[in-house]
Amino acid sequence: MASSISYLFVTLILSIISLLACTSNAQLSPTFYATSCPNFQRIARDEMTKAVNRQPRNAASILRLFFHDCFVNGCDGSVLLDDTATFTGEKNAGPNRNSARGFEVIDAIKTRLEAACNATVSCADILAVAARDGVALLGGPTWTVPLGRRDARTASQSAANSQIPGPSSSLATLISMFAAKGLTAQDMTVLSAFATTRRTTCPATGGDANLAPLDQTPNRFDNSYYQNLVNRRGLLHSDQELFNGGSQDATVRGYSTNPASFARDFAAAMVKMGNISPLTGTDGEIRRNCRVVN
């Protein structure tokens, strides 16, 4: 009976939301760790607070890690895996090499959780909660994070190179790549404020590891990114594509003048992105160390 009900529920959802084959939160629950690790979110928030106080950029770094994790075969913590002599992860894929950072923050949370409730909380869930807390700590919205993801035992550098939108992408390409993950054009527009990071000063040679913010308020979560687009000050080609006489102009203009609307839609899109193809049940594993498979 239970399996029949579950089947009917999934069928109903699939009939309502297009492309939901890419997302699945039926087995995720905000209370997943209520008894097995009740202090999980308190520990994660504590470590994120330390990290953001130490370097506010850590909030955006964790957000970007979460985005790059979810866009490559789902939100499964694969982006956190290190390369080894026998394993190729995603950290050296083009979109991540010399720009993905914040791994030590996830390590710190995981270390404390292993001491509090070992082999219980997945690295994928740690990343999802840390991303939410980083936004809130910079003055942005908060949201309830569905939990119960498990960690991948594999990674795909080739998928990271092909599935993460690049800074030179056209609007049509951006919409198509987000749609492939079950996300709408509006989701794409509201999430684009953190999806990419630009190089700073662009020296003729060197400086490849240097980073700079996408807007003038890198230490505060606000809607200035969209104000810049309306003023034709997008720093990346893919940024200004969002406001360039196309289908997203009205959405960008709306977010540029209504920060509450932006915050609300951003929170909703983050939940939706966090539901992309999670590993649940007995799939995957609960890593003891987020950088290596067990």
CA angle in degrees (0–180, nearest 5) for 180-26-137: 75
- Among 43, 213, 233, 49, residue whose Cα is nearest residue 121: 43
Burial letters 122-150, b for 16+ CB under 10 A, else e: bbbbbbbbbbbbbbbbbebbebebbbbbb
CB 25 within 8 A of CB 112: no
| DSSP class of 243 | G
Phi, psi of 8 (to 5 degrees): -65, -40
Please work out, in degrees rounded to the nearest 5, the angle formed at the alpha carbon of residue 231 by the alpha carbons of 225 and 236.
Answer: 55
Taking CB atoms within 8 Å and a gap of at least 24, the contacts of 161-165 are: 161/93, 161/94, 161/95, 163/71, 163/72, 164/68, 164/71, 164/72, 164/93, 164/95, 165/71, 165/195, 165/196, 165/238
DSSP string, 182-229: T--HHHHHHHHHHH--EESS--SSS-TT-EE-SSS-TTS-SSHHHHHH
Q: What is the pLDDT along the chain (294 residues), one digit of tens a residue?
A: 444 444 444 444 443 333 344 444 458 999 999 999 999 999 999 999 999 999 999 999 999 999 999 999 999 999 999 999 999 999 999 999 998 999 999 999 999 999 999 999 999 999 999 999 999 999 999 999 999 999 999 999 999 999 998 877 888 998 999 999 999 999 999 988 765 443 333 343 444 444 444 444 567 888 888 888 888 765 566 677 888 888 999 999 999 999 999 999 999 999 999 999 999 999 999 999 999 999
Q: Are 256 and 226 in contact (CB under 8 A)?
A: yes
CA distances from 84 to 32, 87, 90, 92 (A): 32, 5, 11, 12
The 10s digit of each residue's pLDDT in 162-216 is 999 887 788 899 899 999 999 999 999 998 876 544 333 334 344 444 444 444 4
| Number of other CB atoms surrounding residue 7 within 10 Å | 10
* Cα–Cα distance measured from residue 76 to residue 287, given in angstroms and rounded to the nearest whole number: 11
CB atoms closer than 10 angstroms to residue 261: 14
Residue 72, token pair as written in the block: 């490559």
- Two tokens at 119? 């082999």
- State which H helix or E strand residue 14 sits in: helix 2-16
Q: Which of 235, 74, 246, 266 is nearest to 173 (CA)?
A: 246
Catalytic (active-site) positions: 68
Phi, psi (degrees; rounded to nearest 5) at 17? -110, 120
Scanning 71-220, the segments in alpha helix (DSSP H) are: 103-116, 123-137, 157-163, 171-179, 185-195
For tokens 């607070």, the residue is 49
29 bridge partner residues: 147
